[in-house]
């Protein structure tokens, strides 16, 4: 290597403009890669909204652009939670919809009338590019821009984040992770500079975050924790005081403007830490001021007295307020963060969601690949320097690791910090091993020169660089390490692409299967059935289904639902669970009382679609049992040997439940006698299928995944439906076989007398 060339690359001043252009180009490339890797589903399927919650967000966004912001704000939705309705405008985080609405209006202004659906679909990939940029800024504050670029690249393609931000996954997390990283960046900037402006900016983005995602509580607790740890470490300074006070005061006031949050920041336990630290930092500031005024001996006495007094007063105050109910106790979701078994016992509705389950170990590697083992090394490197901002990384790492272990979905909050720390590690390794010149022991002069350069290159922060230069002498070991890490990085990219393509790019509304000739076959049963509902039922028809499908029915079928994924009213959900889990007589009463016109169930038995309602059935039973323990009992759905069966050995309670009947109605007739099989549960079904008396099959999709039943009207002659079907079957009263027949017989006689 020529000296001129090495000078060109090493002298920071002369190459600054080249470097900045390179940085911009690299960042743009990273953003492009981040966006591109999220487009698998659009290319394979179409521009479609995925899964469940995004359908609500999409519907709300459409409402927003159609009716305007103020109507959206006051939106009372009478098409969900029938007959209760939902004060939607006041019970959602509007950040996501307002963002896409603003983009929609901005594009219209420059006469680019893009369909709101396409904006919603592409919002998450677009914001992932911004997240990469925010991660770059954040990491740059920790180490240098080299580490920043690496972190941005990691963040751009880490599956842990892609899982929540592929095209079509139009959920709050789509913008929230960007806001999280950017708020943290602004906080670090504020804490570093002690600037009220940066603190104010941090509060502004905190407000945006609050308006966008319930996970803002993570910021609300992490920043105070950072400050608290700094105070404990004896690192209190005016900078911290200014940054925290400006952030807390402005941020809290701003967050209270979101209707869904309202007075929570001063009323609930989740927000008390921030308030407490705000109080503490005032005291610390006061004490700090006193220290300058009072001689040290008296000061110590004073300090001790003050600490004891304040602790006692604050603690009793908190306890009294909590007991008297001014401050709400911790919410159930929060408890389940500390005790993973809590939800299963007390709030089955939270435990029933698969993303609320504790994380399995392999999923850490699946979602983060090599980053997960670079993560501790990065945290260690932070310990070596331990500036104020490094403390933040350590605190963040500890908290996020714990939470990611408790709940699968919180892997999302762990991913950014893992990317940052892994980038710090890799960047340090590269700093050390990519130094082409080996130190020469003999030549003292050149050695000291190089050490200077090394210092400049590595940002001058490492303890090692303060000492006389210690470097790697052997070219071989340099090459070995660099080659190894290059391979790791390539493997990481391959892994990320593979995971994204295979695990996270399915819309789940549309299923894909392969034909024998290798071509793709689309299974589109959900949309088939939803579209049938949309086109061929009265527009005010009420559809009862399990809450999972509420948002999809609202979004695709545009019909009124009883319960949906909002799950704000446990009793209402339990009512639906009870209707599904009870005998027809009981269910029919519930259906009539709720004016239900159609009942929709998901059945995967024909195709082997495992996420169907029979597999979710036990959760319905459990949730219903939580409200009506006397009428619905989980035990009765298990056989004497404790098995959950759907075949001939299924319990009577199971066989007579509405869910079982609706799922298997006429299913056995599809097969030759005696060979009816449920492909999900691998069970052989009795050749005589269940009989329905109070419902009519209205529509079944092509692969039987969605089955819709119409609730029969009351009989014109005042008979009950069991009597009617017995009459139509031509059976004589009194001579009845089978369970349903017996029930029909009893009532049939009564009906005849009328």
Which of 257, 536, 639, 675 contacts other proteins by CB under 8 A? 536
Compute CA 352 distance to the chain's CA centroid, rounded to the nearest angstrom: 15
Q: Is 518 in the site for other proteins (CB under 8 A)?
A: no
Q: Please, what is the minimum distance in Å from the beta carbon of residue 535 to other proteins?
A: 4
Give the contact letters, 42-81, x = binds to other proteins (CB under 8 A), - = no.
Answer: ---xxxx---------------------------------
Site for other proteins in 681-700 (CB under 8 A): 696-700
Q: Reply yes or no: is the peptide bond before residue 387 cis, omega within 30 of 0.
A: no
Nearer to other proteins, 462 or 526 (CB): 526
Q: Is 534 in the site for other proteins (CB under 8 A)?
A: yes
Q: Is 131 in the site for other proteins (CB under 8 A)?
A: no
Tallying the residues shown for the chain, one arrives at: 754
Nearer to other proteins, 347 or 692 (CB): 692
Q: Please, what is the minimum distance in Å from the beta carbon of residue 612 to other proteins?
A: 16
Nearer to other proteins, 461 or 550 (CB): 550
Nearer to other proteins, 113 or 642 (CB): 113
Nearer to other proteins, 334 or 699 (CB): 699
Which of 5, 297, 535, 735 contacts other proteins by CB under 8 A? 535
DSSP string spanning 46-80? -S---SSHHHHHHHHHHHHHHH-HHHHHT--BTTS
Nearest to 600 by CA among 708, 711, 710: 708
The stretch near other proteins (CB under 8 A) out of 40-48, 71-79, 195-203, 472-480 is 40-48
Q: Please, what is the minimum distance in Å from the beta carbon of residue 486 to other proteins?
A: 39
Which residues, 6+ apart, have CB-to-CB distance to 325 below 8 Å?
Answer: none
Gap between the Cα atoms of 19 and 13, Å rounded: 10
Q: In what order do the strands lie in the sheet containing 542-544?
A: 560-561, 542-544, 598-602, 706-711, 695-700
CA atoms within 13 A on the CB side of 372: 17
Nearer to other proteins, 147 or 599 (CB): 599
Nearest to 625 by CA among 635, 615, 613: 635
Q: Report CA-CA distances (Å) from 322 to 310, 315, 512.
A: 18, 11, 52
Site for other proteins in 234-253 (CB under 8 A): none
Nearest to 416 by CA among 403, 432, 429: 403
The stretch near other proteins (CB under 8 A) out of 330-338, 522-530, 636-644, 742-750 is 522-530
The stretch near other proteins (CB under 8 A) out of 3-11, 317-325, 520-528, 570-578 is 520-528
**Cβ pair 373, 126 in contact under 8 A:** no
Q: Is 524 in the site for other proteins (CB under 8 A)?
A: yes
Q: Please, what is the minimum distance in Å from the beta carbon of residue 521 to other proteins?
A: 8
Q: Please, what is the minimum distance in Å from the beta carbon of residue 129 to other proteins?
A: 21
Q: Is 575 in the site for other proteins (CB under 8 A)?
A: no
Which residues, 6+ apart, have CB-to-CB distance to 69 below 8 Å?
Answer: 98, 101
Q: Is 556 in the site for other proteins (CB under 8 A)?
A: yes
Q: Reply yes or no: is the peptide bond before residue 412 cis, omega within 30 of 0.
A: no
Give the contact letters, 476-515, x = binds to other proteins (CB under 8 A), - = no.
Answer: ----------------------------------x-----
Q: Please, what is the minimum distance in Å from the beta carbon of residue 624 to other proteins?
A: 28
Q: Quote the tokens at residue 538.
A: 């009265």
The stretch near other proteins (CB under 8 A) out of 87-95, 300-308, 315-323, 666-674 is 666-674
Nearer to other proteins, 41 or 220 (CB): 41
Which of 140, 390, 527, 719 contacts other proteins by CB under 8 A? 527
Which of 18, 522, 714, 752 contacts other proteins by CB under 8 A? 522
**Cβ pair 504, 166 in contact under 8 A:** yes
Nearer to other proteins, 465 or 552 (CB): 552
Gap between the Cα atoms of 457 and 417, Å rounded: 24
Task: Provide φ and ψ at 602, rounded to 5°.
Answer: -105, 130
Q: Please, what is the minimum distance in Å from the beta carbon of residue 411 to other proteins?
A: 29
Gap between the Cα atoms of 370 and 495, Å rounded: 10
Q: Please, what is the minimum distance in Å from the beta carbon of residue 168 to other proteins?
A: 10
Which residue bears the tokens 């369909």? 115
Paired strand residues for 709: 599, 697
Q: Please, what is the minimum distance in Å from the beta carbon of residue 164 to other proteins?
A: 22
Nearer to other proteins, 474 or 539 (CB): 539
Helices and strands, number each (H, E), in the chain: 35, 9
The stretch near other proteins (CB under 8 A) out of 306-314, 358-366, 523-531, 642-650 is 523-531
Which residues, 6+ apart, have CB-to-CB distance to 548 below 8 Å?
Answer: 52, 565, 616
Gap between the Cα atoms of 696 and 92, Å rounded: 36
Nearest to 205 by CA among 99, 279, 278: 99
Q: Please, what is the minimum distance in Å from the beta carbon of residue 110 to other proteins?
A: 8
The stretch near other proteins (CB under 8 A) out of 39-47, 58-66, 313-321, 672-680 is 39-47
Q: Please, what is the minimum distance in Å from the beta carbon of residue 679 to other proteins?
A: 16
The Cβ of residue 65 has, within 10 Å, a number of other Cβ atoms equal to 18
Give the contact letters, 75-114, x = binds to other proteins (CB under 8 A), - = no.
Answer: -----------------------------------xxxx-
The stretch near other proteins (CB under 8 A) out of 15-23, 41-49, 417-425, 714-722 is 41-49
Nearer to other proteins, 260 or 531 (CB): 531
Q: Please, what is the minimum distance in Å from the beta carbon of residue 613 to other proteins?
A: 17
Q: Please, what is the minimum distance in Å from the beta carbon of residue 531 to other proteins?
A: 5
Q: Please, what is the minimum distance in Å from the beta carbon of residue 707 to other proteins?
A: 8
Which of 528, 585, 595, 647 contacts other proteins by CB under 8 A? 528
Gap between the Cα atoms of 632 and 622, Å rounded: 8
Task: Provide φ and ψ at 511, rounded to 5°.
Answer: -110, 145
Which of 69, 260, 299, 532 contacts other proteins by CB under 8 A? 532
Which residues, 6+ apart, have CB-to-CB distance to 285 below 8 Å?
Answer: 236, 241
Nearer to other proteins, 260 or 671 (CB): 671
Nearer to other proteins, 48 or 472 (CB): 48
Q: Report CA-CA distances (Å) from 640 to 213, 621, 633, 652, 690.
A: 46, 18, 14, 12, 22
Q: Please, what is the minimum distance in Å from the beta carbon of residue 529 to other proteins?
A: 8
DSSP secondary structure code for residue 325 in this structure = T
3-class secondary-structure state, position 244: helix
Which residue bears the tokens 């930092």? 281
Residue 305: burial class (beta carbons within 10 Å; 0-12, 13-18, 19+): exposed
Q: Count Cβ neighbours within 10 Å for each residue of 315-350 and write b for 16 or more, e otherwise.
A: eeeeeeeeeeeebeeeeebeebbeeeebbbeebbbb
Which of 333, 583, 710, 747 contacts other proteins by CB under 8 A? 710
Q: Is 715 in the site for other proteins (CB under 8 A)?
A: no
**Cβ pair 649, 686 in contact under 8 A:** no
Nearer to other proteins, 621 or 706 (CB): 706
Which of 91, 513, 669, 675 contacts other proteins by CB under 8 A? 669
Nearer to other proteins, 444 or 697 (CB): 697
Interface positions with other proteins (CB under 8 A):
45-48, 110-113, 510, 522, 524, 527-528, 530-532, 534-536, 556, 666, 669-670, 696-702, 704, 710
């Amino acid at each position: 290597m020529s000296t001129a060339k090495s000078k060109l690359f090493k002298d920071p001043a002369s190459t600054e403009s080249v470097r900045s252009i390179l940085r911009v180009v690299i960042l743009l490339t990273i953003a492009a890669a981040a966006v591109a890797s999220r487009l698998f589903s659009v290319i394979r399927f179409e521009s479609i909204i995925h899964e469940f919650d995004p359908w609500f967000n999409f519907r709300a966004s459409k409402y927003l652009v159609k009716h305007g912001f103020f109507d959206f704000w006051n939106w009372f939705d009478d098409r969900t939670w029938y007959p209760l309705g939902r004060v939607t405008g006041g019970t959602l985080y509007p950040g996501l919809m307002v963002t896409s609405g603003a983009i929609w209006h901005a594009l219209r202004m420059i006469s680019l009338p893009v369909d709101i659906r396409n904006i919603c679909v592409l919002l998450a990939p677009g914001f992932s590019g911004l997240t990469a940029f925010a991660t770059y800024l954040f990491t740059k504050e920790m180490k240098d821009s080299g580490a920043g670029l690496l972190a941005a690249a990691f963040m751009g393609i880490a599956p842990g984040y892609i899982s929540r931000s592929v095209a079509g996954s139009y959920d709050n997390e789509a913008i929230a992770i960007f806001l999280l990283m950017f708020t943290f960046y602004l906080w670090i900037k504020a804490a570093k500079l002690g600037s009220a402006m940066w603190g104010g900016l941090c509060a502004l983005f905190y407000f945006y975050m609050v308006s966008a995602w319930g996970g803002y509580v993570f910021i609300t607790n992490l920043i105070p924790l950072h400050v608290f740890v700094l105070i404990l470490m004896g690192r209190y300074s005016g900078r911290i005081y200014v940054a925290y006070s400006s952030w807390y005061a402005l941020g809290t006031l701003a967050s209270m403007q979101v209707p869904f949050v309202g007075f929570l920041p001063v009323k609930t336990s989740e927000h008390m830490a921030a308030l407490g630290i705000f109080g503490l930092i005032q005291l610390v500031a006061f004490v700090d001021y006193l220290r300058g005024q009072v001689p040290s001996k008296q000061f110590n006495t004073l300090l001790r007295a003050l600490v004891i007094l304040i602790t006692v007063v604050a603690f009793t105050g908190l306890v009294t307020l909590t007991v008297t109910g001014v401050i709400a106790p911790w919410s159930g979701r929060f408890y389940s963060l500390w005790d993973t078994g809590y939800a299963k016992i007390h709030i089955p509705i939270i435990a029933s969601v698969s993303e609320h389950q504790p994380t399995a170990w392999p999923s850490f590697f699946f979602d983060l690949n090599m980053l997960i083992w670079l993560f501790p090394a990065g945290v260690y490197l932070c310990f070596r320097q331990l500036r104020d901002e490094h403390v933040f990384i350590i605190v963040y790492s500890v908290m996020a690791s714990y939470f990611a272990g408790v709940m699968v979905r919180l892997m999302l909050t762990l991913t950014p910090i893992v990317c940052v720390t892994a980038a710090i590690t890799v960047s340090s390794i590269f700093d050390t091993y990519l130094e082409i010149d080996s130190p020469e022991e003999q030549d003292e002069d050149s050695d000291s020169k190089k050490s200077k350069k090394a210092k400049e290159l590595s940002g001058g922060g490492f303890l090692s660089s303060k000492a006389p230069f210690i470097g790697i002498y052997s070219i071989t070991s340099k090459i070995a390490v660099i080659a190894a890490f290059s391979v790791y990085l390539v493997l990481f990219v391959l892994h990320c692409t593979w995971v994204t393509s295979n695990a996270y790019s399915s819309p789940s509304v549309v299923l894909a299967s392969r034909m024998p000739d290798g071509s793709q076959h689309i299974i589109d049963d959900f949309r088939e059935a939803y579209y049938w509902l949309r086109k061929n039922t009265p527009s005010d028809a009420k559809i009862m289904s399990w809450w999972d499908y509420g948002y999809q029915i609202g979004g695709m079928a545009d019909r009124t639902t009883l319960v949906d994924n909002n799950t704000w009213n446990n009793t209402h959900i339990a009512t639906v669970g009870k209707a599904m889990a009870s005998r027809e007589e009981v269910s029919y009463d519930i259906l009539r009382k709720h004016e239900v016109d159609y009942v929709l169930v998901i059945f995967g038995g024909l195709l082997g679609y495992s996420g169907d309602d029979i597999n979710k059935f036990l959760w319905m039973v459990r949730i219903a049992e939580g409200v009506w323990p006397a009428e619905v009992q989980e035990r009765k759905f298990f056989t004497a040997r404790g098995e959950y069966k759907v075949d001939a050995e299924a319990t009577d309670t199971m066989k007579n439940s509405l869910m079982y009947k609706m799922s298997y109605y006429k299913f056995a007739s599809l097969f030759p006698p005696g060979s009816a099989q449920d492909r999900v549960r691998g069970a052989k079904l009795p050749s005589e299928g269940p009989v329905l008396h109070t419902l009519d099959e209205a529509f079944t999709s092509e692969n039987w995944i969605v089955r819709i039943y119409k609730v029969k009207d009351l009989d014109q002659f005042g008979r009950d439906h069991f009597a009617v079907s017995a009459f139509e079957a031509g059976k004589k009263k009194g001579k009845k076989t089978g369970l349903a027949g017996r029930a029909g017989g009893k009532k049939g006689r009564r009906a005849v007398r009328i």
